Structure 1
Amino acid sequence: MNDKKILSVLLTLFLLLSCSNSSVSNAGSLLWKVSGNGLENPSYLFGTHHLVPISILDSIYGIRSAFENTKQTVGELDMSDMAGMQMQIMSQAAMPEGVTYSSLLDHEEEMLLDSMLRDVLGVGLEKLGMLKPAVLTNLISISLFQRFYPSAASAQSLDQYFQDEAIRLSRPVMGLETAQDQIDLLLNIQTLQRQADMLICMVKHPDLLKEQMDDLQVAYHAQDIDALRELYDKEIPDDPCPNTDAEKNALNGDRNRKWLEKLPAIMKEKSSFIAVGCLHLPGEEGLIEGLRKLGYTV
């Protein structure tokens, strides 16, 4: 398990974290046209899933035309400086000095985690124990996704594809967040103990993870962002591993509000193809309703 693999996993995290229904049904729609409110040319909003093959674009009506008719591409993160992001991520992914999994988990839990790591990643805590629990959570989750859906796991994400295409066409690429913003979201909004508790809960309930992945795949391929959002908001009876409302708000609501402050100026400057995780589109606090409230036709 090398640094490049760890970086790849971290950069694909932000849908799996990171599709209340809005007042207008959004079912069957991943691509949205944004016009009006003084825009000379429309922009487009597209909900991505970071772990599906590029071939899904063939089933999304109008996606190629929407991309071709814009002048810049906007993502959650500008992914052009991968080497710099790798250094930044790896500098913050390590456990603080003096903190070990023995101090965060009991002995039985530590052995269970070590066994899961060996089964899924081929190496155990002797190699990976220096990494924070949130990193291990996502290494395991994404590696299991690739095991469950080998044909769906693409070497290139939809987000990376559109940014690469923009660069090929000599178009600007910009991010709504910095690498540090996303590192903070992944590694710093929870205490290490909370991260460890969520990690071991996932390890103890792999069937629940598989069920969630299956539901996610079905809803995304149906292009039903309301169904994706319902999965995210769904309260499972006796859920052993629930996220808190504060954690969910940090992943979506707070970020959407910050993006809605930036998007009007971005779209006014150039018609934009905006590709972000599909969970950010629906809901009363989602980008679709947020842009409508700002006076745009979506």
Structure 2
Amino acid sequence: MKKISLLLLLVSSTAFSQSLLWKVSGNGLKQPSYLFGTYHILKDSYLNQKPKVKAAYEGAEGVVVETEIDSSAMLSMMMRSMMLDKSLNKLLAEPDYTLVADEFKRATGFDLGLFNQIKPIITATMLSMTYAQKQSDTLSTFTGLPIDLYFASDGRKRNKTIGTFETMEEQMSFLLDHDPVEKQAQQLVEMVKSKADMYDMGKSVTELYLKEDLQGMWKLSEKQGKSFGDMSYLVDERNHNWMKRLPGLMAARPTFVAVGALHLPGPNGLIELLKKEGYTVEPQ
């Protein structure tokens, strides 16, 4: 009996960890909806090798993404990202600032002085995205729009109902305002000091995504949180907020939900949260 239980656990774990596309049915839904985990820096030609994803997307009447760029809110977002009464070169000791400035210039080509009054989380995000992009030649082979943007823009052309889980302001507030800028600055320094680990993690994230290994990505994010500071609030809190809207969206019409892949796995991931609500959620 123990061997059977272990086998079932292994089979379940393997199925869970090797799919980015999940079918959501039951709990009163007349037609299934789908969850798809995206990688925000990936381009849409990736979908040419994913016929199941394309079929699920094309068959849906609605598309939901995390957010869409709102040009009318750009000025407000720029102001929110700034530190009007503080500066990074004042928040950090001179040796730490020099360390970050040298690495930022080497990695991005930009002078850190241009970002002194930008909240450090923005600088850290730029640096981490640069690491991820430089660590995978595979990503550069894909062309087109960033994949999340593709689903929204192409869906609109196809006359699908387009929805978002949050406004740009709501999304940016999670990123910019959760931690004080002093803490953000110190986390930036720690990230640069541990850049070798950041490089490895950036490469690992890409490799795990292309293998569709959700479980591996979630475990890596847990490890990253222990090493570089807990940022689970960017996933867990938002998932619970999104669950207040997701059942109604799926009940209204068969919907294709495209969100960052890390929003799917884990105890607070959308897969488990939907199961707790009584839905059947199956890998495709």
TM over 0.5: yes
Structure 1 residue 243 corresponds to structure 2 residue 267? no
Pick the aligned partner of 2:61 from 53, 71, 90: 71
- Specify the code of the residue in structure 1 equivalent to 2:188: L
- Specify the code of the residue in structure 2 equivalent to 1:92: R
SS, match of residue 34 in structure 1: strand
In structure 1, the residue matched to 2:241 is: 258
Deviation at 1:173, TM superposition (A): 1.1
Deviation at 1:199, TM superposition (A): 0.5
Deviation at 1:262, TM superposition (A): 0.8
Pick the aligned partner of 2:180 from 184, 191, 199: 191
Deviation at 1:86, TM superposition (A): 2.7
Q: Could you list the per-position Cα deviations for residues 54-86 of structure 1 after superposition, in whole angstroms to 9, with x for gaps in the alignment?
A: 23323335111111111111011134x3x2343
Deviation at 1:273, TM superposition (A): 0.4
User: 2:47 & 2:251 partners in 1: Cα distance?
Assistant: 27
In structure 2, the residue matched to 1:269 is: 252
User: 1:24 & 1:87 partners in 2: Cα distance?
Assistant: 47
Kept in 2: contact 1:256–1:286 (CA 8 A): yes
Kept in 2: contact 1:46–1:275 (CA 8 A): yes
Percent of aligned pairs with the same amino acid = 31
Q: Which blocks of at least 5 consecutive residues in structure 2 are unaligned?
A: 1-8
Kept in 1: contact 2:89–2:116 (CA 8 A): no
User: 1:283 & 1:122 partners in 2: Cα distance?
Assistant: 36
Structure 1 residue 134 corresponds to structure 2 residue 121? yes
Pick the aligned partner of 1:161 from 150, 160, 163: 150
In structure 2, the residue matched to 1:60 is: 50
Structure 1 residue 89 corresponds to structure 2 residue 77? yes
Decide whether aligned partners of structure 1 residues 199 and 155 sit closer, same or farther in structure 2, where only a CA change above 3 A counts: farther
Decide whether aligned partners of structure 1 residues 155 and 107 sit closer, same or farther in structure 2, where only a CA change above 3 A counts: farther
Q: Could you list the per-position Cα deviations for residues 183-228 of structure 1 after superposition, in whole angstroms to 9, with x for gaps in the alignment?
A: 1111101111110011111112211111001111111111111111
User: 2:150 & 2:205 partners in 1: Cα distance?
Assistant: 21
- Specify the code of the residue in structure 2 equivalent to 1:193: E
User: 2:158 & 2:40 partners in 1: Cα distance?
Assistant: 22
Q: Could you list the per-position Cα deviations for residues 85-139 of structure 1 after superposition, in whole angstroms to 9, with x for gaps in the alignment?
A: 4323211111131x12232111111111221222223332332212111111112
Structure 2 length normalisation: TM-score? Answer: 0.87
- Specify the code of the residue in structure 2 equivalent to 1:33: K
- Specify the code of the residue in structure 1 equivalent to 2:256: F
User: 1:208 & 1:114 partners in 2: Cα distance?
Assistant: 19
Q: How many residue pairs end up in the alignment?
A: 269
SS, match of residue 177 in structure 1: coil
- Specify the code of the residue in structure 1 equivalent to 2:182: Q
Q: Which has the higher helix share?
A: 2
In structure 1, the residue matched to 2:135 is: 148
- Specify the code of the residue in structure 2 equivalent to 1:114: A
> Residues 1-298 of structure 1 correspond to what in structure 2 (within 5 A)?
24-25=12-13, 26-79=16-69, 81=70, 83-97=71-85, 99-149=86-136, 151-153=138-140, 156-234=145-223, 241-244=227-230, 247-248=231-232, 250-298=233-281
Kept in 1: contact 2:191–2:228 (CA 8 A): no
Kept in 2: contact 1:78–1:173 (CA 8 A): no
Structure 1 length normalisation: TM-score? Answer: 0.84
- Specify the code of the residue in structure 1 equivalent to 2:245: K
In structure 2, the residue matched to 1:16 is: none
SS, match of residue 94 in structure 1: coil
In structure 1, the residue matched to 2:6 is: none
